[in-house]
Amino acid sequence: MNMLPRYIRLISKFFLRDNYIISAAAGLGFCSALAVTNKMENSLTMGVGVVFVTCLSFCLVYPFKKLIITTGTHHKITLLMIIISVFVTIFNLIVQATIPRIAFNIKAYIDLITTNCIVLAVIAEGLTFGFWDAQKKILKACLGYSIALIFLALMREPLGFGTLLNFRILPESFPVVVLMITPVGGFFALALWRFMLRPLFVKTGVVYQENVLEKKEEVTEVETTEREKKPAFKMSGKLIIIIVLGVLLIVSLITNIKAVTSLNNQFQILLPIFLSALFFDGIVLSKLLGICPLLNKSRQVDSAWKMGLAVVIVVTLSTSLNWLVYNKILIGASNYLSSISPVPIRLERIFYLTVFIVTIATFVQILGVLLRRFAIETYQQMGQFLELITVNCIVLASSTFTIPPGLSFMATTVTAFGFGLHWLMVCVWLALLRRHKLFVPCNTWDEDSVAILLLGIMAAIFTGIGAIAIF
């Protein structure tokens, strides 16, 4: 009996010491952890999917590790994402055939396993180890991710529905906390679990306590030197003039649009779509995506708006390009094959994910080449952010959320533009809150936990505003 606590502690250390969601400050895998954990069945399905996709993808990638390691960062990420997308498609088809109800609820987020930061990180890291050592690390990370999803579902489903795995465990008279099944509840549940479990893990020796005093001294020294070197952020007169001219241009365009009947009709249709994507159905605060790069890039205002600007450009243009590829090439090829084949073959239902990734990666690569050729200064400022946009899940999500459901080209483009602006807006706001030191974290882990709580407060505000009938 004395051996049982020892084994429990060893297992806990193995899966929870470097857990990306609960005990680490890396900010990886937060998107799906917030989006699918309102029910336990969704969490278990997503956990199985991540383990399935990561292990099989690594088995396929490992024989070519020397070739992949020698390629550049962008090509390496693109190759890994294409291979991962194949196994994501296979897992998606299996789930649709076996548990269609769950597949209907989380299909969009199963597609986004392709851009899951944990999957890409552990596969890329595993290429530097032996095969079995790498598989051990992969299982450790993926099963730890699944355990974190189970922790979140254990809080959200009983409080939100009164059930667990659709079996009622709380009496009918128990007051249901509807907040827990909303995106707002996802932020609060994750922050609450991190605040509760971290001290317990430190006390039991599952994770090690960082030397807070030394880090405080280092932080204060760095802050004093940065304050001496960097001046405070100020809006220049040129920037103010550009903003004023932009506002006047928008007002004049709206006035001229109302004067033309056809344009006015389009304006009345597209404006609610844009406002919904920008505020009420935002990609971060409502769909719970793009959180990992948001937490990492919101530490400085300068990085936040540069990354946000790059995201707006890439999301808008790549989504428009994906719409053309999907509707003109994939659907056209499917119609042709169906006309000459006795069995209907719909390529857009099977290969859309891989095609979207190839299109996005190609577009980012071409954009980087054009910037190096014609705007070298802009590339030097934004080139590093372009490398990271390929793995930003909102770039792929803006295509998967809008194009397969059948939105028009203009509606898809406007929605993608609103998603990009929403990410930029939230990232800059969070960076400003961190800059003005509204909270004083002890370490990086505390800072990320409080940032998640702040995102929950933002989501609550926009959820309340979205409940107002504007249109």
pLDDT the model gives residue 52: 93
Q: Per-domain residue ranges for the chain?
A: 8-207, 237-466
Give the pair of three-digit tokens for residue 330.
């994939």
CA distance 202 to 290: 29
pLDDT bin (cut points 50, 70, 90) of residue 48 is very high
Place of tokens 């069945």: 41
| Mean residue pLDDT across the chain | 78
The pLDDT tens digits for 425-462 are 898 888 888 776 655 555 556 777 788 888 888 888 87
Mean pLDDT of the 121-135 span: 86
pLDDT bin (cut points 50, 70, 90) of residue 98 is very high
The pLDDT tens digits for 247-278 are 666 666 666 555 555 656 677 778 888 888 88
Place of tokens 């294409």: 82
pLDDT of 227 strictly over 80: no
Beta strand segments in 160-209, E: 163-164, 167-168
pLDDT the model gives residue 53: 92
pLDDT the model gives residue 470: 42
CA distance 267 to 275: 12
Lowest mean pLDDT among 50-59, 214-223, 425-434: 214-223
Contacts of 378 (CB under 8 A, 6+ apart): 371
Helix, coil or strand: residue 402: coil
CB 345 within 8 A of CB 338: yes
The residue with greater pLDDT, 171 or 342, is 171
C-alpha neighbours within 13 Å on the C-beta side of residue 244: 7
Lowest mean pLDDT among 127-136, 155-164, 265-274: 265-274
Mean pLDDT of the 142-152 span: 87
CA distance 277 to 370: 29
Mean pLDDT of the 149-165 span: 88
**Largest Cα span, the chain:** 82
Name, of 22-26, 163-167, 412-416, 428-432, the range with top average pLDDT.
412-416
pLDDT the model gives residue 45: 92
pLDDT of 234 strictly over 60: no
pLDDT of 390 strictly over 80: no
pLDDT of 232 strictly over 70: no
pLDDT of 417 strictly over 50: yes
pTM value > 0.85: no
CB 471 within 8 A of CB 206: no
pLDDT of 134 strictly over 70: yes
Lowest mean pLDDT among 161-165, 258-262, 322-326: 258-262
pLDDT of 153 strictly over 70: yes
pLDDT the model gives residue 9: 65
pLDDT of 198 strictly over 70: yes
The residue with greater pLDDT, 378 or 469, is 378
Contacts of 415 (CB under 8 A, 6+ apart): 273, 274, 277, 319, 398, 401, 402, 407
CA 325 to chain centre: 24
Describe the chain by its helix, strand, coil percentages, rounded to 5. Answer: 80, 0, 20
Residue-by-residue DSSP string for 232-285: PP---HHHHHHHHHHHHHHHHHHHHHHHSHHHHHHHHHHHHHHHIIIIIT-TTT
* Residue 415 burial (CB count, 10 A): 26
